[in-house]
Amino acid sequence: MSLYAVFLPACAPGPGQRLVLTFILGLLILVACVLSTETSMPTQNMSNKERAELREEARDMFYHAYRAYMENAYPADELMPLSCKGRYRGVTPSRGDMDDILGNFSMTLVDSLDTLVLLGDFEEFEHAVKLVIRDVQFDNDIIVSVFETNIRMVGGLLSAHILAEYLQKNADTMHWYKGELLEMSRELGYRLLPAFNTSTGIPHARVNLRLGMKDPQLKKSRETCTACAGTILLEFAALSRLTGDPIFEVRAHAAMDALWKLRHRGSDLMGTVLNVHSGDWVRRDSGVGAGIDSYYEYLFKSYVLLGDDKYLARFNRHYNAVMKYVSEGPMLLDVLMHRPHAKSKNFMDSLLAFWPGLQVLSGDLKPAVQTHEMLYQVMQMHTFIPEAFTVDFQIHWGQHPLRPEFIESTYFLYRATGDHHYLQVGKRALKTLQQHAKVSCGYAAVNDVRTGKHEDRMDSFVLSETIKYLFLLFSDPHDLIINIDEFVFTTEAHLLPLSIAQLGNATFSFRQTEEHNVLDFMRTCPSSNKLFPEKVRKPLRNFITGSCPRTSGGKRLSALDFQASNADHLRAVYDMGITMVSVGDRSQGKVRLFHSFYNAKSHEEGEMGLQFMQEMLELTKMQSMNQLAALQAVAFTTDEKGQDWAALMAGPSHFSPELIGDQFVEGDVVLSKPLRACDDRLDNAAEAKGKVLVAERGDCTFVSKARLAQKSGAAALIVCDNVPGSSGETQPMFAMSGDGNDDVNIPVVFMYSVEFGKLSAIMKRRKHPLSVRIMQMVEFKRWQLAKEQRKNETATTSSQKPEKEL
């Protein structure tokens, strides 16, 4: 019996549902047909044998991680793979706001349940469900993230409930099961509901599991991110439809409606952080990565799961805006929602790697292939995709917590195209995890992809998503116990059946309004509808195999699209008469470009080369100006008399006030005790008062160190890197990210190890405490220049003096 029939014993699919299924499946089949019949097969085909071996390796990976967690960490939320023990909220030293994920509710086990079913391990699934029912409880006086609790816990419980019922009916097992997991998800849902009591209907970011919003610590709660508020509907709709209680779905739709109203009416873009009471935007950066990602995902998937056209219309409006303003060739660069022609960041974050997967589902394959290809090159360059990387693919933030997004997109691209390239990509991702993240007790996150150093952290999504998508990539869908195409994957890769739409919703009638006309997107340009047909697929045929140059078709390669690691691009610039010469240390990837008409293949290409060079010049200028403007200085006197000054470079932060113009903060340097500054209080708080505190990077977020420094009365905070040998001279400086709140009002800057080493050497040499001045680097340079000029003028005057006297 098919799953579809199981969930719909008495009803046939309704028209909306049929439309959705036809649309998605038709789309995937069409793409697969065109590409498999007309594309020359990629060179590196993978045999069935190898694919099956990789599937088994993915299975082993799951058990290695799962057993490490169950044997050493359960019932904790997470496994700490280096210390091989559990991470408990309130017991394990706090990592600051990052710990809001944890609710002491055995998160990793709940998040892993449905993967056990996909692996066909019904016995362990049954055992694990019994454990969850016996051990997990939610009446905890703990503040948790509404978003994370929903996607990992509510989603995990719901999907496990659905699969438990499926196994009862189809595998003649678990007959004792009476819907306990659904009851648990209902209870957890109720505990999240107080967060939705805001004037806008947009939920607070955090809630206390026991006290709701009555926790005094939540009194000032007002800011949340777009993704945090807009990633609720799939789980809450399923919860309402399975329990019959409409409240969850009502609240989630209201939040989606309120968010939609906040879009910028000119650009149709969303910002990243907003105020839940006023609906004002706090951060207007707009991209598809951190802070926004799954809001877009849930608009599209809400349409797929619930068959409500208005969500497709909304998705299309946003999608067109993203493709118009944010997408730059294969790159996706943040812009300001109200000034969408200006890029607001020169780096991308790894969370955006889910975007190609979503593009595949929505039918826009070409940009999906391009962005995925770009990400693959970033991965090959740095072993893993770093948390953030610059437009020239250098590391902006080197951490890698074994995230699933890139593998998720690889899976969807493989399902849509059948191209073995994606199996090869998956193989590389799998082997990389085995080689660089596997430890004796699970899989450890990578603290810095440059050094490969591990972190004592294995997030629950490693089991619920990363390994699950690998397993699915190497599995033949026919071998799976369920028909995967009849499910929607939530953002945490939990499975919700499409048949949920048929369970109906008493509260909502899905009638189109004028505002949400589904045809809207067809009239816009570019249209995601028109992007799909034959004329777009055609040039893609040899895109991956490389048998036809990527820059063909008369389109000029722009400097922004150029990737030095792409062979087609190198050939194209060569034809334009451009020669590239590596300068300095090769590992820094610095090259110098020379252009000559004489070397160009044709006059036309010579002209293109000239244009390319001009663009490159502008781009480099823009980058270095942006970098210099943001760069901070930690300045100090080089002699005890205080005459001469020197400055060491430091990076700014997104969450603290910016020091601009002649603003500075001055104070004696004091080392924090303990050095990492992750505890509730500093041992030397009294000493830190009014001083410039130094804390080492690691163990907790930048912003929680900043909060502790501020609480202790420090005038400013310097965070020094924990990677020996790191330096701003050899790697790009970055701005430390916060959590969307703006409660830090002391300046906070970051110093790499080499620069901080210099500062600490001076501190040791001085008899008295070293006083530093934190300011903008450009301002320091200007100040020095003015001093220099004054000195020269005096020197000229005094050297002229005797002459005059003579």
Residues that bind ligand DMJ (CB under 6 A): 151, 294, 351, 403-405, 461, 465, 491-492
Own/partner pairs for 671-677, CB < 8 Å, 24+ apart?
Answer: 672/696, 672/705, 672/709, 676/700, 676/705, 677/705, 677/708, 677/709
Write out the E strands in 460-503: 487-489, 495-497
Question: Pairing between strand 692-696 and 495-497?
Answer: unpaired
Task: Write the DSSP symbol of residue 350.
Answer: G
Minimum CB separation from ligand DMJ for residue 151, in Å? 6
> Terminal CA-to-CA distance of the chain, rounded, Å?
112
Which residue, 294 or 359, is less far from ligand DMJ as judged by CB?
294
For the question of residue 387 being annotated catalytic, the response is: yes
Specify the residue, 405 or 699, whose C-beta has the smaller distance to ligand DMJ: 405
| Element (DSSP H or E) covering residue 298 | helix 293-306
Three-class secondary structure of residue 714 per DSSP: coil
* Of residues 27, 1, 11, the one with CA closest to residue 499: 11
Helix (H, G, I), strand (E, B) or coil at 642: coil
Which residues are 143's β-sheet partners? 208
**668, β-bridge pairs:** 771
Minimal distance, residue 451 CB to ligand DMJ, in Å? 22
Residues paired with 510 in a beta bridge: none
Cβ proximity to ligand DMJ: between 42 and 357 the closer is: 357
Question: C-beta of 208: minimal distance to ligand DMJ in Å?
Answer: 21
* Least distance in angstroms from the C-beta of 426 to ligand DMJ: 17
Cβ at position 307, least distance to ligand DMJ in Å: 23
Q: What's the alpha-carbon Rg for the chain, to the nearest Å?
A: 28
Cα-based angle 394, 396, 401 (whole degrees, multiple of 5) = 110
Tokens of 34: 């065109």
User: Which of 457, 516 has the CB closer to ligand DMJ?
Assistant: 457
Nearer to ligand DMJ, 352 or 693 (CB): 352
Token pair for residue 704? 């929680």
Burial class, 795, CB count within 10 angstroms (exposed 0-12 / middle 13-18 / buried 19+): exposed
Structure token pair of residue 303: 């349409």
78, 99, 405, 575: the catalytic one is 405
Annotated catalytic residue within 293, 561, 605, 721: 293
Is 126 or 492 the residue whose CB approaches ligand DMJ more closely? Answer: 492
| Minimum distance of ligand DMJ from residue 788's CB (angstroms) | 49
Helix (H, G, I), strand (E, B) or coil at 650: strand
Residue 161 vs residues 89, 133, 182: alpha-carbon distances, Å: 26, 11, 6
> Residue 156 and residue 235: Cα distance in Å, rounded?
9
- CB contact at 8 A, 228 and 259: no
Tokens representing 581?
């010469």
In the bound state with ligand DMJ, the residue whose beta carbon lies nearer, of 395 and 715, is 395
Write the DSSP assignment of 411-449 as a string of letters. HHHHHHH--HHHHHHHHHHHHHHHHHTEETTEE-EEEET
Q: Are 20 and 28 in contact (CB under 8 A)?
A: no
Pick 232 or 718: Cβ nearer ligand DMJ:
232
Asked whether 437 and 53 are in contact (CB, 8 A), the reply is: no
Q: How far apart are CA 56 and CA 51, in angstroms?
A: 9
Q: Which is nearer to ligand DMJ, 334 or 387 (CB)?
A: 387
Distant-in-sequence, close-in-space partners of 519: CB < 8 Å, separation ≥ 6: none
Which is nearer to ligand DMJ, 465 or 779 (by Cβ)?
465
Least distance from C-beta 465 to ligand DMJ, angstroms?
6
Cβ 520 to ligand DMJ, closest distance in Å? 27
Nearest residue to 294 via CA among 354, 238, 250, 251: 354
Closest distance of CB 489 from ligand DMJ, Å: 10
Q: Is 405 a catalytic residue?
A: yes
* C-beta of 308 vs 405, nearer to ligand DMJ: 405
Does the N-terminal peptide bond of residue 75 adopt cis geometry, omega within 30 degrees of 0? yes
Q: Which of 6, 96, 95 is nearest to 456 (CA)?
A: 95
Closest approach of Cβ 111 to ligand DMJ, in Å? 9
Task: Pick the closer one to ligand DMJ by CB: 287 or 404.
Answer: 404
Whether 148 is a known active-site residue: answer yes
CA distances from residue 162 to 155, 235, 295, 401, 497 in whole angstroms, order as listed: 11, 12, 24, 29, 8
- In this structure, are residues 421 and 42 in contact, taking their beta carbons and an 8 Å threshold? yes
Distance CA(65)–CA(630), nearest Å, equals 41
Q: What are phi and psi of 183, to 5 degrees?
A: -60, -40
Pick between residue 403 and residue 654 the one whose CB is nearest to ligand DMJ.
Answer: 403
Out of 148, 235, 309, 349, pick the active-site residue: 148
How many whole angstroms separate alpha carbon 360 and alpha carbon 739?
A: 30
How far CA 275 is from CA of 202, 282, 805, in Å, comes to 9, 7, 71
**d(C-alpha 315, C-alpha 299), whole Å:** 6
CB of 784 to ligand DMJ, least distance (A): 44
CB 480 → ligand DMJ: shortest distance, Å? 21
Say which of 223, 334, 387, 739 is annotated catalytic. 387
How far apart (Å, rounded) are the C-alpha atoms in residues 405 and 402?
Answer: 9
**Shortest distance (Å) from residue 150 CB to ligand DMJ:** 11
**Positions marked active-site:** 148, 293, 387, 405
